Structure 1
Amino acid sequence: MVVRAFPVPTEPVSDPVPRKLGLWASERMQASAWRLAPGQDISARMHPQADGMFLIVRGQGEFQVFDGQEPEAAGSYVPSAHYPLDAPPKRPLPEPTRHRVEAGMVCMAPAGLFYGLVNSGEEQLVAVAVTASDTSGTAWTVR
């Protein structure tokens, strides 16, 4: 087994979309570093059979949990603009429950629940996203 330790990239980016960098992927887990400029978001997502979490490394934001109703089958939601694919008609999620987050906080969502992250601060937000592997796929939606 290979053990790795590496720094999370925190240097500012000015991309028009959030910047994602894969850190680790195995049969049991995957981890990515996200850098979001003010106003950018990680689109609402749901892993049908895997829990997910964000560790906020830098900045402030809003962790959104779409718990107003049970999600429908993954095929009834459309990928976000970051993942352009042919998809069925758009179907928005209910209003989310919003949680203020800042550096040092961990946000968790159980399998089957849509969640997302928004940079609501005035500086770059850096987060590490970790999910258990889920061979059933991921569903994204637009807000």
Structure 2
Amino acid sequence: MVVRAFAVPTAPVSDAVPRKLGLWASEHMQASAWRVSPGQDISARMHPQADGMFLVLQGRGEFQVFDGEEPEAAGAYVPSAHYPLDAPPKRSLPEPSRYEVGPGMVCMAPAGLFYGLVNTGDEQLVAVAVTASDTSGTAWTVR
């Protein structure tokens, strides 16, 4: 059995898109660290067979849950090895439920519900994303 402990990187980045670092992947769980600059977002995603969560370590943001109206099928896609080359055009999304989040807060979404995280603060947001075992069929939105 492999056991690991990780230091999540928190050094600021100035990338044009959020930076993701895979921490763990097994048949039971996967975890990634995200560094998101002000105004950037972790695109809403939906795992049909797996619950998901974000643990906010640093910064302020908005956890968005599409629990009123699901994004249209054409507004969601399953990425391929060629992403972003084959990503569909950006589309508007329905209005989500919004929850302000900050350091130490945990955001959870059940399987089958689109959810995402937006940096609404003026500093980098650092979060760890954890998803349960079966992530087959995961779809992301495009904004």
Partner of 1:36: 36
Structure 2: distance between partners of 1:39 and 1:76: 21
Instruction: Provide runs of 4+ in structure 1 moved above 3 Å.
Output: 70-73, 85-93
Distance 1:103 1:59 in 2: 6
Q: So what's the TM-score if we normalise by structure 1?
A: 0.87
- How many aligned positions are there? 141
Q: Which amino acid aligns with 2:117?
A: L
Q: CA deviation at 1:142?
A: 1.8
Unaligned segments of structure 1, at least 5 residues: none
Two-structure CA RMSD over aligned residues (Å): 2.3
Distance (whole Å) between structure 2 residues aligned to residue 52 and residue 96 of structure 1 = 17
C-alpha distance in 2, partners of 1:7/1:45?
Answer: 25
Deviations 1:37-68 (A, max 9, x none): 10010001100110000000000000000111
Aligned 1:104-115 pairs, distance under 5 A = 104-115=104-115
The equivalent residue for 1:126 is: 126
> Does the aligned pair in 1 maintain the 2:46–2:112 contact within 8 Å?
yes
**Aligned partners of 1:56, 1:7: CA distance in 2, in Å?**
14
The yes-or-no answer on 1:77 pairing with 2:56 is: no
Residues 65-118 of structure 1: per-residue CA shift (max 9 Å, x gap)? 011135666x762358xx426467766432000000000000000000000000
- Mark the CA change 1:67 to 1:100 in structure 2 (over 3 Å): closer, same or farther: same
Percent identity over the alignment?
82
Q: TM-score, normalised by structure 2?
A: 0.87
Give 1:19's aligned residue: 19
**Matched AA of 1:2:** V
Distance 2:7 2:88 in 1: 39
Q: Which runs of 5+ in 2 are unaligned?
A: none
Cα distance change, pair 48–71 in 1 and its aligned pair in 2 (3 A): farther
Q: Secondary structure at the match of 1:126?
A: strand
Separation of aligned partners in 2, 1:88 and 1:118: 21
